[in-house]
């Protein structure tokens, strides 16, 4: 059994503000330790459940957050960027399941700590009308390779978002967010116990999970931005079409192509942070 653990930081227990998640933040050193230990809980549970290979993906920022020396030494770590499959790098390597650690709600959600999707100027993202955050974006990417997402750890809103999209997913609620930058947090040890248990429950009934796939092969991706100037910039990509001041669509033959276009557009926005 091969397991991919995709780890973000905003949904880690006791992480509630950009002082934690920003790499210059004064609490960042603490946040990356907390992130590493939550990942370790998932890795331990996977091996205890019979995994033969656990690949951990450092999926926050440029992929240099998890502390390699503190990581369970049985796991291998995907780090650095850019990578073709971004937060899911390695999901194309014959994985049996994906577990999310430190995941967060989609941009614009109420009571979801540091909610966003990839880039601060993306307000909403839809594929064939289905609105997704990083939970859905990455579950659809796993679906391309027929891999189900079976477990998520994050705040209560992220876990609810995941359950609505992926019925039956096991969840570990590590905090209850209050607005966008505050929360009621469980003790880190309790977070790790919850994660261990959720991974164990999921892998014990792995055969009951289905990968998430869109009904249609062709994909219309719609991105709404926080600024009209973001659309001006994103229109550099051939095939994009403006549908209103702040929204564009991109028609792709399949989901993987749409995902690549989304990643390219967010990279493009990163190059011009002043507009
Ligand atoms: Zn994220």
Domain of residue 145, CATH code = 3.40.50.10780
Cα(117) to centroid of ligand 1, in Å?
6
Decide if 214 is inside a domain. Answer: no
> Helices 134-144 and 255-271 sit at what angle, rounded to 10 degrees?
140
Q: Strand 183-185's sheet: what is its strand order?
A: 76-78, 53-58, 2-7, 97-103, 149-155, 170-177, 183-185
Q: Catalytic site residues?
A: 116
What's the CA gap between 23 and 270, in Å, rounded?
16
Quote the ligand 1 centre to 9 CA distance (angstroms): 7
First to last CA, the chain: 46
Whether residues 228 and 184 fall in one domain: no
Could you list the residue range(s) of the whole structural domain that residue 58 is in? 2-208
| Residue pair 93/76 in contact by the 8 Å Cβ criterion | no
**Domain containing 265 — which CATH number?**
3.30.1360.130
Q: Mark whether 22 and 128 lie in a shared domain.
A: yes
Q: Is the pTM of this model over 0.95?
A: yes
What is the CA(115)–ligand 1 centre distance, in A?
A: 8
- pLDDT tens string for the chain (275 positions)? 999 999 999 999 999 999 999 999 999 999 999 999 999 999 999 999 999 999 999 999 999 999 999 999 999 999 999 999 999 999 999 999 999 999 999 999 999 999 999 889 999 999 999 999 999 999 999 999 999 999 999 999 999 999 999 999 999 999 999 999 999 999 999 999 999 999 999 999 999 999 999 999 999 999 999 999 999 999 999 999 999 999 999 999 999 999 999 999 999 988 876 65
CA of 60 from ligand 1 middle (Å) equals 6
What long-range pairs does 72-81 form, CB within 8 A, spacing at least 24? 72/39, 72/40, 72/43, 72/44, 72/47, 74/43, 74/47, 75/5, 75/39, 75/43
Q: With residue 140 as reference, give the H or E element that holds it.
A: helix 134-144
pLDDT at 275: 54
Write down which residue in 188, 208, 228 finishes a domain. Answer: 208
Question: How many angstroms separate the alpha carbon of residue 118 from the centre of ligand 1?
Answer: 6
Among 192, 180, 235, 152, smallest CA distance to 40 is for: 192
- Within-domain flag for 213: no
Q: Domain check: are 23 and 71 in the same one? A: yes
Taking the centre of ligand 1 as the mean of its atom positions, its distance from the CA of residue 134, in whole angstroms, is 6
Note the pLDDT of residue 274: 62
At 177, which helix (H) or strand (E)?
strand 170-177
For residues 29 and 93, membership in a common domain is answered with: yes
The answer as to whether 9 is a domain residue is yes
Q: Is 189 inside any structural domain?
A: yes
Minimal CA–CA distance to 34: which of 15, 19, 16? Answer: 15
């Amino acid at each position: 059994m091969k397991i991919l653990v995709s780890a973000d930081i905003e949904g880690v227990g006791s992480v509630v503000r950009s002082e934690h998640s920003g790499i210059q933040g004064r609490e960042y050193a603490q946040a990356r330790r907390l992130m590493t230990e939550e990942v370790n809980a998932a890795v331990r549970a996977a091996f205890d459940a019979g995994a033969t290979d656990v690949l951990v993906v450092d999926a926050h920022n440029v992929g240099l957050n998890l502390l390699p020396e503190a990581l369970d030494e049985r796991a291998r770590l995907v780090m650095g960027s850019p990578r073709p499959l971004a937060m899911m790098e390695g999901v194309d390597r014959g994985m049996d399941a994906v577990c999310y650690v430190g995941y967060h709600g989609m941009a614009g959600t109420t009571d979801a700590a540091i909610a966003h999707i990839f880039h601060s100027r993306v307000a909403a993202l839809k594929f064939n009308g289905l609105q997704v955050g990083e939970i859905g974006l990455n579950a659809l990417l796993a679906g391309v390779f027929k891999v189900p997402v079976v477990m998520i750890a994050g705040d209560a809103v992220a876990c609810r978002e995941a359950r609505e999209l992926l019925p039956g997913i096991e969840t570990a609620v590590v905090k209850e967010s209050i607005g966008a930058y505050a929360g009621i947090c469980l003790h880190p040890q309790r977070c790790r116990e919850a994660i261990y248990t959720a991974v164990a429950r999921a892998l014990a009934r792995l055969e009951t999970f289905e990968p998430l796939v869109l009904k249609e092969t062709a994909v219309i991706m719609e991105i709404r931005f926080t600024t009209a100037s973001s659309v001006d910039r994103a229109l550099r990509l051939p095939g994009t079409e403006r549908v209103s001041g702040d929204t564009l669509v991109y028609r792709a033959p399949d989901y993987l192509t749409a995902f690549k276009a989304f990643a390219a557009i967010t990279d493009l926005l990163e190059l011009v942070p002043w507009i």
